[in-house]
Structure 1
Amino acid sequence: MPEPLMQARPKHNLGQSGLSIGPIAYGCWRFAGSDVAAAQNKIETAIACGMNLIDTADIYGIDNPAGFGSSEALLGDVFKAQPALRYDMVLASKGGIEPGVPYNSTKTYLMRACEASLKRLRTDTIDLYQIHRPDMLAPFEEVADALSTLRAQGKIREAGVSNYSPSQFRALQANLDVPLASHQPEFSALELGPMLDGTFDQCQETGALALAWSPLAGGALINGKTDDKDLATRLYAVAGVLDAIAAQNSVTRAAAALAFTMMHPARVIPIVGTQTPARIKEAASAIRVKITRSDWYRVVEASLGRRLP
């Protein structure tokens, strides 16, 4: 029997801050819309399960009646109700999406966006502030200037990027005096792009945290459903392999799918966004899943729809 990989998953360190992060993070993109007590319960459950990186963004909640900023505002209300929670977590947020534009990474906008996030979150410092999506009209030196200024002012501890290509990451880094602390792409058993385009290679090269959004493929890996006919065949094949891994470990398919992402040597931290405390606990069981090298590659081949050479 091949030896299972990744039986122990140590904590990660965030940039130069020395802050320690658990192997799974909790995301707030669906967080807005609940009352403060329910929101507090979700955050407390996540932290109790070792998900101490809490990831949000100013754009989260825009589809909710409360609109732009409502996810951050709700998290700020949680801090108001239970101030100690702020110190139990590593707080991450993002800026740079301006509704109707759609992207704005000018220094003026990023400074204003970060300050607005701080106000909504009712905190003095954001531990990790990421550029949400690349602004193709913003010079990298201007983006770097904004991040450096925010850091010098103590408004952020570390800076990172989300949805950047490796070349965009490199160009921004060239204008910064401190290393970028994170790279946040979409990654799941159905979306292998970061393994293939150099993103995770760059994380291993630079030490940037590899944060994965949508690690359950927007729920498709849980319910096995998709409206994309081209994706359906791959989804069926991937689900079959994950189900076998789940059965071997007495966990759900969701836990097996999260464990798949965590096995990459970039030490990927998947961000789970469920709004159900029971499912938060279920996701936490991914840390005890053991997957053999051959089974991990079976997932890859099922996702690619072809055998590896």
Structure 2
Amino acid sequence: MSNILPIAKSTTVGPLNAGRIAYGCWRMAGATASEAQSKIEAALAVGINMIDTAPIYGFGKQGFGPAEAVLGEGMALGGLRDRVLMVTKGGIHPPNPYDSRAQTLIESCDDSLKRLRTDHIDLFLIHRPDLLAAHEEVAEALTTLRTAGKIREAGVSNFSTDQLRALQSKLDFPLSASQPEFSAIHTDPLTNGDTDIAQELGLCLMAWSPLGGGRLVPGARGEPGSAEARVLAVLEEIAGRNDVGIDHVALAWVLAHPGVGSALIGTQSEARIRESVKAFEVQMTRRDWYAVLEAARGEKMP
């Protein structure tokens, strides 16, 4: 029996097929339409078809949606909309800071549809839990949007397992995705139930910041003796054996977990977008995977 961990290249979000590396567009605001087109085309060329954005990305003097707007322009310029799984979100409303009342979520989705120049969102996520919104009201909004054909699938981002399960109890259709932070230096999903509930409910767990916010890329250096430094040392050793970058090993480590559906990258470099799929070339053993986790924890597994 092989000790090499299998890392599939595709996954599902409900009935939708997706590449396991997704492209996050939180840094897209400020780009031109042609630049956005080129980046999405670079992603599609290597099988990255799930494109993630949100109204809050780029929020500032222009208000909501600058990242969505340029993404919509870029997709229209290249005729790309039908080739991508479009993910966006709702629920973050400065200075509230959160507002997931039914009408707010419905209006947010309608505005996103206009900016993205599309008639439907493939996956609509509640960006962060609004502690003042009843789960029943959030479910009402998602049901209304889905019945109207404005969204195909629904999910949550940054929800605890209890919050996710409570929302699911108010819906008569299954949630399809959950989006927590997960990386080799942020391993909470392994113990807080995130990866377990994804497997229990058949959710596509979309790991955001799988490269530790840029701390797990070539050239990164952690403080001596820190968890980051320990993890980088192990990633570098595995990368050397596989002739890839430590960022590819970091992505492979996340994707190797059976509870993870996809990992979100956010680079603005077309070359790095294309090279991200080297993660699928990493020959990672069970011992390798646990060595990374032990480095993160600073102790051997019990």
Q: How would you bin the TM-score normalised by the shorter chain?
A: over 0.9
Give structure 1 regions of 4+ aligned residues with deviation exceeding 4 angstroms: none
Q: Is the 8 A contact 1:107 1:142 kept in 2?
A: yes
Letter in 2 for 1:178: F
User: 1:30 is matched with which residue?
Assistant: 27
- Deviations along 1:129-164, one digit per CA (max 9) or x if unpaired, are 000000000000000000000000000000000000
CA distance in 1, matches of 2:177, 2:107: 22
User: 1:68 is matched with which residue?
Assistant: 64
Asked if 1:4 is matched to 2:1, the reply is no
In the alignment, structure 1 segments of 5+ residues that lack a partner are: none
User: 1:242 is matched with which residue?
Assistant: 235
Match 2:85 to one of 86, 90, 103: 90
Asked if 1:251 is matched to 2:248, the reply is no
CA distance in 2, matches of 1:251, 1:10: 17
Match 1:185 to one of 176, 180, 184: 180
CA distance in 2, matches of 1:76, 1:282: 24
User: 2:268 is matched with which residue?
Assistant: 275
Q: Is the 8 A contact 1:23 1:287 kept in 2?
A: no
CA distance in 1, matches of 2:62, 2:272: 25
Map 1:3-152; keep pairs closer than 5 Å.
3-6=3-6, 8-15=7-14, 18-62=15-59, 66-83=62-79, 85-152=80-147
CA distance in 1, matches of 2:281, 2:8: 9
CA distance in 1, matches of 2:235, 2:242: 11
CA distance in 2, matches of 1:255, 1:41: 22
CA distance in 2, matches of 1:221, 1:81: 34
Q: RMSD over aligned Cα, in angstroms?
A: 1.5
Letter in 2 for 1:213: W
- Deviations along 1:30-87, one digit per CA (max 9) or x if unpaired, are 1111111111110000111111000001101125x6452100000111122122x101
Q: Is the 8 A contact 2:35 2:74 kept in 1?
A: no
Match 1:292 to one of 285, 292, 296: 285
Give 1:2 shift: 6.3
Aligned residues: 301
CA distance in 1, matches of 2:176, 2:143: 13
Q: Secondary structure at the match of 2:174?
A: coil
TM-score, normalisation: structure 1: 0.94
CA distance in 2, matches of 1:125, 1:2: 43
CA distance in 1, matches of 2:208, 2:68: 18
Q: Is the 8 A contact 2:27 2:266 kept in 1?
A: yes
Identity of aligned residues (%): 49
CA distance in 1, matches of 2:225, 2:274: 28
- Deviations along 1:214-235, one digit per CA (max 9) or x if unpaired, are 0001001114246xx6x96111
| Residue 163 to residue 232, structure 1, CA distance change in 2 (3 Å) | farther
Q: Is the 8 A contact 1:129 1:158 kept in 2?
A: yes
